[in-house]
Amino acid sequence: MIESRTRFREAMSRLGAAVNIITTTGPLGDTGFTASAVCSVTDDPATVLVCMNRASRQHDIFQKSGVLCVNILAPADEDMAAIFAGQPDLPMPERFARASWLRLATGAPVLESAAAALDCRISQVLEVGSHSVIFGLVQAIHLGPATSGLIYHRRTYHRLVSDKSA
């Protein structure tokens, strides 16, 4: 029996996941979106994957840019997660103006306050259902000051607390 899309989405909301802002740059400037469908693929060569809805306004920009940065958010970045998720719906330059950004090997924006950032060249894209699965080969890494993380679970953000130092 095929389960309903609603039940599937409810089940997936119970899978906690790290919160990330995925960024790129191109002829039209910087763009980005909030994502939790991100994971490590392998460490040799260092590769991550990002799932992006093909209906997204930014989809074609990412496809053409050839680069992306996975900005793994710290608890203090929760407001940025909401902004890049489109709440409120601000023009992209205003979203980027709300934080400090760096540039590494690819030129994609790197959130200075992120717990970590993986600056990648896009190596492959697979189309699966409504999404593109984008594989990124890591070119550079930024390790921020954060010692804890931000996750998305049951349709809300949760701050992970760590008593360990970096």
Output the six-digit token pair for 149.
Answer: 């993380």
**Alpha-carbon span 37 to 77, nearest angstrom:** 18
Output the six-digit token pair for 159.
Answer: 């701050």
**Alpha-carbon span 143 to 112, nearest angstrom:** 9
Q: Considering the chain, what is the average pLDDT of its residues?
A: 91
Nearest one of 135, 148, 71 to 104, comparing CA atoms: 71
| pLDDT for 166 beyond 50 | no
3-state secondary structure 103-132: ECCCCCEEECCCCEEEEEEEEEEEEECCEE
The predicted model scores a pTM of 0.91
* CB-CB contact of 21 with 71 (8 Å): yes
* CB-CB contact of 108 with 29 (8 Å): no
Which pLDDT tens digit goes with each residue over 14-42?
777 889 999 999 888 999 999 999 999 99
pLDDT at position 136? 98
pLDDT at position 163? 63
Helix, coil or strand: residue 51? strand
The superfamily (CATH) of domain 5-36+58-119+143-159 is Electron Transport, Fmn-binding Protein; Chain A (2.30.110.10)
